[in-house]
Amino acid sequence: MSKQIWKPGALLSPLPPILVTCGTMEQPNVLTVAWTGIINTQPAMTYISVRPERYSYPMIRSSGEFVLNLTTANLVRAADYCGVRTGAKTNKFNDCKITPAPASTVCAPILQESPMNLECKVTQIIELGSHHMFLAEIQAIQVDESLLDEKGALNLQRANLAAYAHGSYFELGKKIGTFGYSVKKKKKRTK
């Protein structure tokens, strides 16, 4: 490999193009966020980095609540739309024919059409620069039962999740390994 040295940039890929719902059931909004991730296991914690000029920003800041809704391939068009139109000017739920529904632990709504919804409460706000980072504890997760196998285990492959990489959306493809498979002992053949 022959490498060039580039100036710093936000080029980490792939990222999840998450549909973030905020506000209340009466006055909901939804925006797309790719600057997000898991930052702690116990307690389960996440973050979203949001520009203060977003319409959603004061809603999240004042309520201290939001929901991360995983984006499936079927929801990618909505995720793109919710990332280029503002709730200040239009009702993105009506425009995309998507539905806010009650969360179990927060006043912010979940997105009904997303099969997995992570309900979050903000614990800290870090003003980084262009974006302010909302650190949050995940309070509860709603999972569509169609993602569970007969033993009740989560089978996330069934969700057809989307990824975002350098300006393009992708549908996750074939499984190429599982956690720890690189060190797993191969089963001896009996014959």
Ligand X SMILES: Cc1cc2nc3c(=O)[nH]c(=O)nc-3n(C[C@H](O)[C@H](O)[C@H](O)COP(=O)(O)O)c2cc1C
Nearer to ligand X by Cβ, of 52 and 102: the residue is: 52
| Min dist. Cβ of residue 85 to ligand X (A) | 6
Between CA 144 and CA 127 the distance in angstroms is 35
| Min dist. Cβ of residue 101 to ligand X (A) | 19
| Min dist. Cβ of residue 93 to ligand X (A) | 11
Nearer to ligand X by Cβ, of 106 and 132: the residue is: 132
| Min dist. Cβ of residue 3 to ligand X (A) | 27
Nearer to ligand X by Cβ, of 90 and 123: the residue is: 90
Taking residue 38's Cβ as centre, other Cβ atoms within 10 Å add up to 11
One-letter amino acid of 159: A
Closest CA to 49 of 62, 36, 40, 37: 36
CA 18 to each of CA 46, 49, 100, 121: distance values in angstroms, whole numbers, following the listed order: 12, 12, 15, 16
Taking residue 14's Cβ as centre, other Cβ atoms within 10 Å add up to 15
Taking residue 51's Cβ as centre, other Cβ atoms within 10 Å add up to 13
Nearer to ligand X by Cβ, of 52 and 148: the residue is: 52
Closest CA to 156 of 172, 140, 170: 172
4 CB-near residues (< 8 Å, 6+ apart):
none
| Min dist. Cβ of residue 79 to ligand X (A) | 6
Residue nearest to ligand X according to CB distances in the complex: 83
Nearer to ligand X by Cβ, of 29 and 142: the residue is: 29
What are the residues binding ligand X (CB under 6 A)?
Answer: 17, 29, 31-35, 49-51, 54-56, 80, 83-88, 131, 164
